[in-house]
Amino acid sequence: KLLPAPGGPLRGKRIVITAGPTHEPLDPVRFIGNRSSGKQGYAIAAACRRAGAEVTVVSGPVSLPAPSGCEMVRVETARQMLAACEELMPSDVFIACAAVADYRPALETKHKVKKERGGLTAIDLIENPDILREIASRSANRPGLVIGFAAETDDVLGHAESKMKRKGCDWIVANDVSPGRPAMGGDQNEVTVLGFEGDKTLPLMSKDALGDMLAAMIGRALGG
Ligand code: CTP
Ligand code: CA
């Protein structure tokens, strides 16, 4: 069902990318989620495809059309996202663009929580698996290039640098998500890519343009 890969610097490369938020269920009608639109991840996927890669997007719930020519695996929770990514290994490149929920409700009830049965006044949370760290620390079949994202509100580069070390990824794309900054939900992004030929600070640009830029950088890193 996928069209043959176009020629380009990423021709023949397999890329797996996570995108969008995760939804962590509380009961059949409620979940904990976040404001990720999925736009940046989908833009990177489309750009890598245009550059010739075979791209699979492991996507949380978003309201965007599938990026053209990419294979889609749709998931809801962090645990499903991790399982889907592991199943897709090995790949040449792994890009963690999803805003994975750090925690999930410790209990998921099969029945809708009802006010007259005591309702819900607090939610116990447990930590979700760290998908980026799991993939970056694989002993077998680790992708040759693992790229993470770091959305921060203060000491952006400092936090991003330690995040890159902690998770074991090769590059981290750092952006400032303070109120009034472009990234969250918008069509533009302004980032620094740590780990690529030293660090590379890019100007404010559209998420599509940043996708093309990253695809070109990946092509260079893979020697294409
Ligand atoms: N990430 C992931 N799985 C998680 C949490 C994060 O794969 N459970 C990935 C994100 O996709 C991103 C990177 O890790 O590429 C950094 O995510 P971020 O939320 O900034 O890092 P955390 O380690 O969760 O730290 P914090 O939210 O406390 O800043
Ligand atoms: Ca987080």
List, for residues 90-115, the tens digit of each pLDDT value.
Answer: 999 999 999 999 999 999 889 999 98
Which residues fall within 8 angstroms of residue 177, CB to CB, at 6 or more apart? Answer: 151, 152, 153, 183, 184
Share of the chain above pLDDT 90, in %: 84
Tell me if ipTM is over 0.95. Answer: yes
Question: 100, 19 in Cβ contact below 8 A?
Answer: no
Structure tokens at 213: 């830029």
Query: Residue 201: its pLDDT value, please?
Result: 94
Angle between helices 207-221 and 39-50 (to 10 degrees): 50
| Residue spans of beta strands (DSSP E) within 43-190 | 54-59, 71-74, 93-96, 103-105, 125-127, 145-152, 171-176, 188-189
Amino acid found at 87: E
Ligand 1: which residues within 6 Å by Cβ? 18, 78, 96, 98, 100, 102, 128, 130-132, 148-151, 163
Q: Looking at ligand 1, which residue's alpha carbon is closest to its atom 12?
A: 149
Q: Looking at ligand 1, which residue's alpha carbon is closest to its atom 27?
A: 102
34 in catalytic set: yes
| Confidence at 1, pLDDT banded by 50, 70, 90 | very low
Instruction: Output the furthest CA–CA distance in the chain (Å, rounded).
Output: 63
Structure tokens at 118: 């005591």
pTM as predicted: 0.95
